Each structure stands twice: as C-alpha cells, then as structure tokens.
Structure 1
Amino acid sequence: MKLVIISGSVYGTADLVADEAANQARAAGLEVVRMKGASVDGLLAENADALLVCCATTGMGELPDTLVAFHAELHDRFPLLTGLPFGVIALGDSAYGDTFCLAGEQLRETLLELQAREAVPMLRLDASETVTPEADAEPWLSDFYAALQG
C-alpha cells in the first residue's frame, strides 16, 4: 500500500510529525512518499492508496504558506478522490479558541468534498498541552495504519 504524506508547517513542528509518521508507516510495512511542497499534479502522479496530511494552523486559523497554493488548487481543479482513505493531523493552540486547528479542519472538509474517505477521525494536537506532538501522535497513527490495512 502506497501512502502519500503531505505536511504544511509554520515552525517545522508539523513537518517533524509528518517525518515521524513516515518512519512509523514504513515500520508498519507501507510504501511512503513524503511531500513537503504539495501540488495536485504531484499527488495524482503518485497514484496513492492513502493520504495523510499533517497541518499546522497559523494566524487566525489560516493554512501555512506551504499549503495555501495546494489547497486553492484542490478547490480550483476539484480532482475527485473517490474512496481514497485519508487522515489529518491538525496542530494548533487551544488558546486561540475558535481557530484551534482550523487549517486542518479546512483540509479535512476539502478532502471530504472531493469524496475521499476519512479512515479515522482527525487528530488535534494542542501546543498548549504538549511539547512532543510527534510522540503524542503515535497511538493515533497506529490506529490510522491499522484502518488502512484492515
């Protein structure tokens, strides 16, 4: 099974979580393609069996700069991803209230609009509660990989 992992980070934390997710996926026997500069053409060219997005939230709930163009391209081109299993790990800070993990939620909603299938509910990692988000994501990742292989 080929898993594409896309990340969008502000300070590098979401990239770190995605890198650790890639290591764990390989250990689970998955073929992994790691994309930091995502594009629709790049995603479609990989012919992925599953997708994982690790996304930080910035400002007032915006996507990180590294994912803005990708998200806009998904909306503009609207490539149907019918049935493609996906997961989203959203990073944010609950001190920001209503915008907590909003960027991850936006990507999740877009993937659902494109008819992709959420394999497990989105994981929200709170910077106010953790200093090791990559470790905090491990149980969720185990569930995600089990759902993909089950």
Structure 2
Amino acid sequence: MKIAILCGSVFGAAEDVARHASGLLRSAGHEVLLNSRLTQAELLGFAPQALLAVTSTTGMGELPDNIQDLYYQLRDELPASLRGLPGAVIALGDSAYDDTFCGGGEQLRELFGELGVNEVQAMLRLDASESVTPDTDAEPWLAELIGKLA
C-alpha cells in the first residue's frame, strides 16, 4: 500500500516520530512518501492509498509553519482523489497547555473529515510532559495501525 505521511514539526520531535513511522511502515512492506515540506502536487502525484498525519502543536494550538501551506491547499481544494482513503493522526503536544493540547492534530483530524478520509484509528496524543521518547511511545499505536491497513 502507498502511504503518504503529512508531517508538521517545529523542533523536530514530530519529524522524528514521522521518520520512525515511515521505517516501520516500510518494514511492513508499504511504500511511503515522507517529506516535511510536502506540497499538494507531490502528495497527489504519489497517488496515496492511505494517509498518516504526524504533527506537533505550536502557538495557540496551531499547526507548525512547515505544514500550513499544504493544509490550506487541501482545505481549499478538497481533492476528490483523497476521498475514502484510510487515515490516522498522531498529535504531539504538552498537556500543560490545557486548552490547546494537541490542537495541531485536531486541525488535521478535522481536515481529514472534510476531505472524506476515513479515520481508521483514534488519534494518538503524545504528551511532552510525560515522555521524552515519542517515537518509541508511538510504536504500539503504529503496530495497530499497520494491522488495520494490511
């Protein structure tokens, strides 16, 4: 299966999780597209069969700068080729920011809903207040996702 990973990262933790997810997905036999500066043209040109979003949250619950252009393009154009694809979201945040905790992930979940992407697994929330190894903390969730995509 061709899986595109949409990655929003400020300080690199979400990108580390996305790279780790990419390795696990490839080991399971999937073809993976991962580019932290992914454009809509690259995404649609890849013709994904599933989507995984991995993002941190910045500011007042917003998406990181590196994924905003892609987010707005997808939201404004709603490409029909993504409708019906399986998808899932990993959100990184800090629960000390109660109202905005994992807000970037929530934005991508909402976008997936608008695109008609089928959420195959509940969003994983990784809390920086509780963990310093989000990449390995995501492994059980990713294993479950890989099973659902098989």
TM-score interval, normalised by the smaller of the two chains: over 0.9
Residue identity in the other structure for 1:55: T
Answer yes or no: is the 8 Å Cα contact 2:6–2:52 preserved in 1: yes
TM-aligned CA deviation for residue 76 of structure 1: 1.4
Residue identity in the other structure for 1:136: D
Match of residue 49 from structure 1: 49
TM normalised by structure 2 equals 0.96
Aligned CA-pair RMSD: 0.8
Identity of aligned residues (%): 52
- Aligned length in residues: 149
Per-residue CA distance 1:44-75 (angstroms, 9 max, x = gap): 11001111111000011010000111111112
Deviates more, 1:9-18 or 1:79-88: 79-88
Match of residue 98 from structure 2: 97
Please give the secondary structure, in 2, of the residue aligned with 1:120.
Answer: coil
TM-aligned CA deviation for residue 97 of structure 1: 0.4
Answer yes or no: is the 8 Å Cα contact 2:94–2:127 preserved in 1: yes
TM-aligned CA deviation for residue 38 of structure 1: 1.8
Runs of at least 4 residues of structure 1 off by over 2 A? none
Please give the secondary structure, in 1, of the residue aligned with 2:51.
Answer: strand
Q: For structure 2, which runs of at least 5 residues remain unmatched after alignment?
A: none
Match of residue 119 from structure 1: 120
Matches within 5 A, 1:121-136: 121-136=122-137
TM-aligned CA deviation for residue 40 of structure 1: 1.6
Per-residue CA distance 1:11-39 (angstroms, 9 max, x = gap): 00000000000111111111111121122
Find out whether 1:17 has 2:17 as its counterpart. yes
- Give distance in 1, aligned partners of 2:126 and 2:46: 28
Q: For structure 1, which runs of at least 5 residues remain unmatched after alignment?
A: none
- Give distance in 2, aligned partners of 1:14 and 1:122: 14
TM-aligned CA deviation for residue 6 of structure 1: 1.8
TM normalised by structure 1 equals 0.96
Match of residue 143 from structure 1: 144
Residue identity in the other structure for 1:82: R
